[in-house]
Each structure stands twice: as C-alpha cells, then as structure tokens.
C-alpha cells in the first residue's frame, strides 16, 4: 500500500486578481488530504477502479466504481463528483495501469470540506503524485482556477504565486512568518463559497488594480514584522478589492464594532477571514456564533 499527502491552502493576498497575473501570498496548511492506494488481482471479467472518499470524521461520504478501460461509471453512492473524477482518471498515463488488476484509491480529508481549504486541489495533487500525471493539466481540465492552491499542495512553506503572460504558473518560496503571528487568527464565517462561480461573475480587473495588488503584496512581505503597517496594508487591500467587487469589506459588513483588523481570504462572503487583534475579541466572536477559529500556529505550515 502506498500513501501520499497534499496540503490545504489559504490565499492571503490577490484574491480574484490572481487569475489575471497578480502576485499573491499563499499559505500551505498543516492539515490536508491523504491518499492510500493499493491494487489486487481482478475479481470480475473487467478490471475496476474503486474510489472511496472519507471525511474528517472518517465517514465514507463518497464511493464509486469505474471500468478500468473506459472509466465509465459502474456505480456510485453520490453522483455529484462522478464526472470530475471520471475525467481525472481518464487523464492518468496508460502506463500506470497493469492488466488484470483492480485498483483501489482511498482519500482521507483532515478538514471539513465546507471550509474551502482545498478539497479539489488536494485531490488533483494526490492523483498526480500517485500516478505521474501532470498536475496542472489535471487541474485545468476540471477546476479552472489560478492554480495557487495546487502549488500549495506540495509546498514546504509560504509561497509567492502568479501566472505569467503565457498563463503558466510562477512559484517561489518566501520567508513569511510575522513576528506578531500569535495575534493572528483565522475565522470561518460559515458560508462556503463556490470559488469558480464567484470568479465567473466578476469583470476583468484593470491593469491599475493588478499593479496596486502587486505592490500591496510586496509591501506585506516587506512589513511583515511591523504590525501597525501590516494592518494598514491589509485594510488598503480590502478597500481595493471592495471597489472592484462592489462589496463592502468584511469588517464593515460583520464586525464594525471590533478593533481588530479583518482580511477576507479567497471568495468574499463566506469562507475564512484573517483576524489580527486581541484575544478578548476572539471570545466575542465565539459568543456571537463564530465557533471555528484557529490560531496561526495551529494551521499554517
């Protein structure tokens, strides 16, 4: 039996704009998804590929079997993810599969799939790691994002990510661990967003916005140990995206009476936000129903 692992992700800067070439700071997470893979002598006339996906509670939320040659569905417990999985399986190099053998894949999430931490990107990365398929070709055929989340899946720490003029990913490791990280928390707003649909609703950002986001990303790296300046830059980033999206910043929407700084992460409106502030305000959030809150040290790789 072989085992593989892929990290979850959070995007600190350049949400939305990262699809159009903007540079973003991305954070691989300690938690992710594992894949166990094994094969057995086939039991039926045609060899099968069996897939079982377990959630963070070890519950098998998705099970499916495919014909190994055509990857047509034989049966499934949940039809929602079948087409995507069939597409991904069909892109695995033919040399990976042996004759007269059944293949079994099992995936194990370490986080709630509603959190937006990369259920899809970790899946793609795991398939690529296990089979030798090109991860970005798998990703492009199914999920259509910028690919920063896929880069996070195998990163060893924070990264700087952007798409170049040809649309190819550029990834570099960065030193990003703010001195005041013990005052940084990540708060789940409780409304999972569909990133692809959220992106498709938005117009192409202007060159001026891309330039502004790039500068803010560079400044966040430069001032990562200056809490006052860092918070000011986060607010400037929120205001820039607010104007582009036509939506008020998340603090204005939900937390106007708190002193902490809040920064949206990913699709605005429901996924995680980053909070910099006093521990007492975290207690206030919990009292108001925001029960899923992580400290930096708990989740950032």
Q: What is the mean pLDDT of residues 254-275?
A: 89
271 Cβ neighbours under 8 A, 6+ residues apart: 115, 116, 188, 189, 191, 192, 193, 265
Q: What is the mean pLDDT of the chain?
A: 92
Pairing relation of β-strands 101-109 and 48-54? parallel
Is the CATH number of domain 178-299 3.30.70.890?
A: yes
Averaged pLDDT, 276-300: 93
Helix (H) or strand (E) holding 62: strand 60-67
DSSP secondary structure string for all residues of 97-150: PPTTEEEEEEEEESS-GGG-S-HHHHHHHHHHHHH---HHHHHHHHT-S-SHHH
The segment with the largest mean pLDDT, out of 17-21, 44-48, 68-72, 268-272, is 17-21
At 47, the pLDDT band (50, 70, 90 cuts) reads confident
pLDDT digits (tens, 9 = 90+) for 98-154: 888 899 999 999 999 999 999 999 999 999 999 999 999 999 998 878 999 999 999
Taking 90 as the threshold, does the pLDDT of residue 46 lie above it?
no
Q: What pLDDT, in 10s, does the model give residues 193-241?
A: 555 555 556 788 999 999 999 999 999 999 999 999 999 999 999 999 9
Span 2-172: which CATH code? 3.30.230.10
Q: Would the pLDDT of 13 be above 90? A: yes
Q: In the chain, which segments carry CATH 3.30.70.890?
A: 178-299
pTM: 0.93
Give the mean model confidence (pLDDT) for residues 82-99: 91
> For residue 80, what are the contacts with CB-CB under 8 A and spacing of at least 6?
none
DSSP helix/strand/coil, 53? strand
Using DSSP, state whether 217 is helix, strand or coil. helix
Average pLDDT in the 38-67 region? 89
Q: Residue 257: which pLDDT band, with cuts at 50, 70 and 90?
A: very high
All residues at 6 or more sequence positions from 288 whose CB lies less than 8 Å from its CB, including other chains: none
Range(s) within the chain of domains with CATH label 3.30.230.10: 2-172
| 116/265 Cα distance (integer angstroms) | 10
């Amino acid at each position: 039996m072989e085992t593989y692992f892929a990290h979850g992700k959070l995007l600190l800067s350049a949400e939305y704009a990262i699809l159009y070439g903007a540079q973003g700071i991305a954070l691989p997470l300690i938690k992710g998804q594992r894949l166990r893979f094994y094969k057995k002598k086939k039991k039926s006339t045609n060899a099968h590929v069996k897939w079982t996906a377990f959630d963070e509670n070890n519950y098998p939320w998705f099970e499916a079997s495919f014909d190994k040659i055509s990857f047509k569905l034989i049966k499934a417990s949940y039809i929602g993810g079948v087409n995507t999985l069939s597409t991904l399986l069909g892109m695995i190099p033919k040399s990976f599969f042996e004759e007269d053998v059944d293949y079994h894949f099992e995936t194990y999430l370490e986080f709630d799939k509603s959190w937006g931490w990369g259920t899809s990107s970790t899946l793609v990365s795991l398939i690529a790691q296990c089979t030798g398929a090109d991860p970005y070709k798998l990703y492009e055929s199914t999920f259509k994002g910028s690919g920063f989340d896929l880069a996070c899946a195998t990163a060893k720490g924070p990264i700087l990510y952007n798409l170049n003029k040809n649309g190819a990913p550029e990834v570099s490791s960065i030193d990003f661990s703010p001195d005041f990280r013990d005052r940084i928390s990540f708060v789940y707003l409780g409304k999972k967003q569909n990133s692809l649909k959220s992106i498709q609703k938005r117009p192409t950002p202007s060159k001026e916005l891309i330039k502004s986001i790039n500068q803010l990303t560079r400044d966040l790296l430069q001032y990562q140990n200056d809490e006052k300046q860092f918070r000011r830059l986060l607010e400037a980033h929120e205001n820039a995206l607010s104007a582009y999206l036509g939506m008020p910043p998340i603090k204005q929407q939900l937390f106007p009476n708190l002193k902490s700084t809040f920064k949206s992460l990913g699709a605005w409106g429901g996924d995680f936000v980053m909070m910099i502030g006093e521990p007492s305000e975290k207690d206030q959030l919990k009292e108001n129903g925001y029960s899923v809150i992580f400290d930096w040290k708990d989740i950032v790789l």
